[in-house]
Structure 1
């Protein structure tokens, strides 16, 4: 497609579904209303056990549908879509969580920024709360490599306070990330060791290590419902959040940072074990992070 004799870069959306067709439908319907003129949608179903495949194929026969055939987690499922988008020579790719609703102009604003800032490896919009659309959920985040803690930027502030800002950060949330396809050649795909949480953190960190910037462009906006698929399994979110912070630090912190982090981790585990009735479970989470064990592997039929 062309506009004023200039080709419009193609953007492929990758939208991952797992047992949640209703949110996926709402997400795609919002994408279909955007004012960008050259995009395609790839729907990746992560081996849902409900009627997702039938529903989504019938509702969106004009979009690309992929069945993974196994529960590959966030990274693995999205990587299936990324590989297809790359094979089809997409100029840019936008990973979009299926519980996100987009503003009509969000992609155009992100693309306007990306094409004029080739030093940016990945960009995200301001992400606002679904039930409070004027309240910011995130404008990216920073990582404390001494404790593994993450500071979400501008959480719970009114969007007027950040509108128009360009924020450099360590990573933008996996709910919405736009990047040039060449990043996959230079950095590789999203790491699949985590299954859930911290995979986009490490991926953005790897992009920064290649000399690119990671940016939140607050001119663009989406709203995010948050974790509808995750909450279907009791304890899933807590387990992977605590397990994966250890895995992330083990993979990415330097020796000096680990000398601070491991004692901090031990003290935290003892503290939770003392003050909480079931606090010893945190020690188990941390042990699984150190060893790479995944207690949900069989339950979720994770490949």
Structure 2
């Protein structure tokens, strides 16, 4: 047996926290049960304003803890962890939301798939609902480049109908994704312009543009709660969802697709403005997307 055959690829699991130590601790505790012998956990904190840092450090002194010193958003915080993993010589990196509960076998299943399919740039598991663990939340998604709408694949179906399926998609959700660290040299890190939502969408699209596949491998499984951190500021989720789809389409859609999308968005904003309470704010979302402004800059730092 040669030395190469003895090599067990190293995996660094990056978990981002912001004012949510309970979910983060639960996530790390489950991650520690993973059936794979060469992985490390890196916990990144986006300058939480509660007692997250003290609680997490006390509970997990044996794991790497990184304080970013600012609220850098999903991409910025995870990029800090990924850059650290690269400096440590990680073969693979797993980005894992702190509100995800992992199955012990998920990592080995995804890793074996990547090892045997070098044409795949990034792979994710089937993601199930936390409150109904047999019901699928997502197996990746497809993008309509005329409306900006995202079609989440297999949302609401029973997980037994999907086992062993290999599903090509436009992107796998940022709740859990695994990739060879070398991919960062080809496509770079997660785009940090979005702050929240659409960063992994664009990143996966960049991978596909390099001729590599984006895959949901349904034999692997996690459950996802849905982020509590997002809802701590009123209107945050809605603002970034609508603003960021404009940024995404401006940067990634073709000219004819953008024209259709802009028309669709303006008509939608008019509709909301005429018939819905506070509907005029959708014009503001559209404007901030076009100009890439962020009204929450001061609140989030």
TM-score grouping bracket, smaller chain normalisation: over 0.9
* 1:1-303 to 2 correspondences below 5 Å: 6-301=6-301
Distance 2:108 2:257 in 1: 40
SS of the residue corresponding to residue 189 of structure 1 reads: coil
SS of the residue corresponding to residue 122 of structure 1 reads: strand
TM-score (norm 1): 0.97
SS of the residue corresponding to residue 110 of structure 2 reads: helix
How many residue pairs get aligned? The number is 300
Task: Sort the Cα spacing of 1:291 and 1:5 in 2 relative to 1 into closer, same or farther, 3 A.
Answer: closer
Q: How far does the alpha carbon of each residue in 1:128-183 deviate from its partner, in whole angstroms, 9 at most, with x for none?
A: 00000000000000000011000000001100111110000000000001000001
SS of the residue corresponding to residue 227 of structure 1 reads: coil
Q: How far does the alpha carbon of each residue in 1:189-226 deviate from its partner, in whole angstroms, 9 at most, with x for none?
A: 00000000000000000000011100000000000000
Distance 1:75 1:143 in 2: 20
Distance 2:105 2:24 in 1: 20
Distance 1:34 1:186 in 2: 29
Distance 1:181 1:101 in 2: 23
Distance 1:229 1:282 in 2: 23
Distance 1:227 1:245 in 2: 19
Q: What are the ranges of 5 or more consecutive residues in structure 1 without an aligned counterpart?
A: none
SS of the residue corresponding to residue 123 of structure 2 reads: strand
Cα RMSD (Å): 1.2
1:4 deviation in Å? 11
SS of the residue corresponding to residue 269 of structure 2 reads: helix
Q: How far does the alpha carbon of each residue in 1:8-33 deviate from its partner, in whole angstroms, 9 at most, with x for none?
A: 10000000000000100000011000
SS of the residue corresponding to residue 173 of structure 1 reads: coil
Distance 1:227 1:102 in 2: 15
Task: Sort the Cα spacing of 1:76 and 1:4 in 2 relative to 1 into closer, same or farther, 3 A.
Answer: closer
Task: Sort the Cα spacing of 1:4 and 1:34 in 2 relative to 1 into closer, same or farther, 3 A.
Answer: farther
Task: Sort the Cα spacing of 1:4 and 1:182 in 2 relative to 1 into closer, same or farther, 3 A.
Answer: closer
1:3 deviation in Å? 11
SS of the residue corresponding to residue 243 of structure 2 reads: helix
Distance 1:3 1:225 in 2: 42
SS of the residue corresponding to residue 15 of structure 2 reads: strand
SS of the residue corresponding to residue 81 of structure 1 reads: helix
Structure 1 runs (4+) deviating above 4 angstroms are: 2-5
Distance 1:21 1:198 in 2: 24
SS of the residue corresponding to residue 219 of structure 2 reads: strand
Task: Sort the Cα spacing of 1:93 and 1:188 in 2 relative to 1 into closer, same or farther, 3 A.
Answer: same
Distance 1:273 1:155 in 2: 30
1:34 deviation in Å? 0.8
Distance 2:240 2:162 in 1: 30
SS of the residue corresponding to residue 287 of structure 2 reads: helix
Distance 1:151 1:145 in 2: 11
1:115 deviation in Å? 0.2
